[in-house]
Structure 1
Amino acid sequence: MKVVLIGYMASGKSSIGRLLANDLDIGFIDLDEYIESEMQKSITTIFSEKGEIFFRKLEHEMLDKVLHENESVVLSTGGGTPCYGENMKTILNNSDHSIYLQLPVLTLANRISNEKDQRPLVKNIENKDLPEFVGKHLFERRQFYAQAKHILDCEGKTIEELVSELKLLLL
């Protein structure tokens, strides 16, 4: 079974994905961590040295590779992964389940404000400006996220509750 988790940054894709994979007794791959391992550089460094266009091409190659080389996996994508090139099509055509982890703008902005240093797209945005940035960005990306096979409302739920809901969706 191939399960792909998509959603905006800080929506919980990696945390939920790790626990879900553990419960399902299958492998877990965080696409950003996979890229960093393959390139021996952080995403932030890749962005600053090579630019976003290079990163997005690399991201597509790695997405395709992970989905074709793993028979069973829970894959956590980067927030922008589904929104570039043919990535959403690749996800839909090469996975059994694609799941959009949906959260409100203010919840996302609050989570992001605590981890801006690890997020190149928001690193230089003031916390007071984050809700507006996230709102506009999410508006642009929502059309891609909405193509997922399942949409899971994550607001106000623990990781354990979300994993339980996901397991029911996967049956």
Structure 2
Amino acid sequence: MRVILIGYMGSGKTTTGRLLALYSKVKFYDLDEYISIREQQSVQDIFLTEGEDYFRKAEACSLRSLLKLEKGYVISAGGGTPCYKDNLSLMKRLARTVYLRLSPELIFQRLRTQKSKRPLIADLSDKELHGFIFQNLAQRMSFYEQAHYKVDVIDKLPSEIARCIQQQLLQSVS
């Protein structure tokens, strides 16, 4: 099983991905964590010192490195990963992509308390954050909607989402 979870920041990709990997008995990779290890600095520091363009290049390189793995895996991609370079087509060719779909309002509710941990929104007021989410999500939606599978995560626990994805993947194989 090779699965990549995509979706907007705050949609639960990392939490769900860890559980899906555990249930499926495969390795889990959080792309941002992987980048931090390779670059020997946090994603926040990469954004601050090197800028977003540098980060996106490191992200694409790290993604390619993970996609070369022969064994099964679950990867939690960054919210912007499928929107840059040819990342989405590569992901779709080498793995099953799953879009964790969440409304802009719920994303806002989740992110407003996590701003300091997320470089793209760290300095935004709540009003600015609200507008940013709506605008940015609208730009990214066409990429996310190209995923092999879509899962609405509203009112579901991460464990339920992981089981739902696992069932969808098993049904597609049989």
Q: Same fold (TM over 0.5)?
A: yes
Q: What is the aligned partner in structure 1 of residue 17 from structure 2? A: 17
Query: What is the CA–CA distance in structure 2 between the aligned matches of 1:160 and 1:14, rounded to whole Å?
Result: 12
Query: What is the CA–CA distance in structure 2 between the aligned matches of 1:129 and 1:39, rounded to whole Å?
Result: 30
Q: Does residue 108 of the first structure (1) align with residue 103 of the second (2)?
A: no
CA RMSD of aligned residues (A): 0.8
Question: Does the C-alpha gap of structure 1 residues 76 and 70 become closer, same or farther in structure 2, counting only changes over 3 Å?
Answer: farther
The percent of aligned pairs where both chains have the same amino acid is 39
Q: What is the aligned partner in structure 1 of residue 153 from structure 2? A: 154
The one-letter amino acid paired with 1:66 is: L
Q: Does residue 127 of the first structure (1) align with residue 140 of the second (2)?
A: no
Q: Give, in angstroms, the shift of residue 70 of structure 1.
A: 4.1
Alignment of 1:57-136 (within 5 A): 57-95=57-95, 97-136=96-135
Q: Give, in angstroms, the shift of residue 19 of structure 1.
A: 0.5
The one-letter amino acid paired with 1:99 is: V
Q: What is the aligned partner in structure 2 of residue 142 from structure 1? A: 141
Q: Does residue 38 of the first structure (1) align with residue 26 of the second (2)?
A: no
Runs (4+) off by over 4 Å: none
Give a deviation string over 1:67-103, Cα, whole Å, max 9, x none. 11242100000000000011101111111x1000000
Aligned length: 170
Query: What is the CA–CA distance in structure 2 between the aligned matches of 1:108 and 1:70, rounded to whole Å?
Result: 34
Q: Which structure 1 segments of 5+ residues have no match?
A: none
User: 1:128 is paired with a residue of what secondary structure?
Assistant: helix
Q: Which structure 2 segments of 5+ residues have no match?
A: none
Query: What is the CA–CA distance in structure 2 between the aligned matches of 1:79 and 1:103, rounded to whole Å?
Result: 12
Q: Give, in angstroms, the shift of residue 128 of structure 1.
A: 2.7
Length-normalised TM-score, structure 1: 0.97
Give a deviation string over 1:39-66, Cα, whole Å, max 9, x none. 1100011111111111101100100110
The one-letter amino acid paired with 2:51 is: G
Query: What is the CA–CA distance in structure 1 between the aligned matches of 2:133 and 2:71, rounded to whole Å?
Result: 34
Q: What is the aligned partner in structure 2 of residue 3 from structure 1? A: 3
Q: Give, in angstroms, the shift of residue 132 of structure 1.
A: 1.6
Query: What is the CA–CA distance in structure 2 between the aligned matches of 1:94 and 1:64, rounded to whole Å?
Result: 10
Query: What is the CA–CA distance in structure 2 between the aligned matches of 1:86 and 1:111, rounded to whole Å?
Result: 29
Query: What is the CA–CA distance in structure 2 between the aligned matches of 1:130 and 1:53, rounded to whole Å?
Result: 21
